[in-house]
Amino acid sequence: MYCCAILDCFSKKIVGRSFSTVADTALVDNVVNMAMAERSGNSGLILHADHGSQFTSWSFGENLRRHNLLPSFGTVEDCFDNAAIESFWGLQTELLNTKRWATTLELTIAMANWIDNLYNSGRRRSYLGYTSPDEYEMLCLDIQPTPQLS
């Protein structure tokens, strides 16, 4: 199972995620589309990626242009280029290595829940004032959370 994710460097929130059994251009196009739906109205944002064939494909470049995103590619074999998202890949030890998954659907649902309910909403970070990415964005935008009905 492949997971592709887009991290907002300001809030450390995963704003796009895509899962597939194939690491193809559709995987990365889907994650960009999801991120732009999450961040609708924003243009001129920079999307940093590695030099994988999916990210250097014509289709991916066209998708970035369609969303008015600026591509950024770091130097080859430079571990610091993708440092911002590396902590996210703790997903591998916190979730993926905890059990044997019966189906790809079960695994996909578990990964999506881990991202949405633990990583974005539940995990507090010292560099965000001990708030989660979701809480930090609400504080910065001065948005009050919607009350939960019991």
CATH of the domain at 20: 3.30.420.10
Residues 49-65, mean pLDDT to the nearest whole number = 89
48 located within any domain: yes
Q: pTM value?
A: 0.84
Can you tell me the distance from the alpha carbon of 20 to that of 112, in angstroms, rounded to the nearest whole number?
A: 12
pLDDT band at 148 (very low <50, low <70, confident <90, very high): low
Provide the number of structural domains found in the chain.
1
Alpha helices in the chain (DSSP H): 25-38, 58-66, 83-86, 91-94, 104-113, 133-141
| Domain extent at residue 31 | 2-141
96 located within any domain: yes
Residues 13-25, mean pLDDT to the nearest whole number = 94
Separate counts of helices (H) and strands (E) for the chain: 6, 4
21 located within any domain: yes
What is the per-residue pLDDT for 27? Answer: 94
149 located within any domain: no
148 located within any domain: no
Can you tell me the distance from the alpha carbon of 14 to that of 85, in angstroms, rounded to the nearest whole number?
A: 9
Cα-based angle 89, 91, 92 (whole degrees, multiple of 5): 85
147 located within any domain: no
What is the per-residue pLDDT for 14? Answer: 94
Cα-based angle 120, 23, 85 (whole degrees, multiple of 5): 30
Compute φ and ψ for 41, nearest 5 degrees.
90, -15
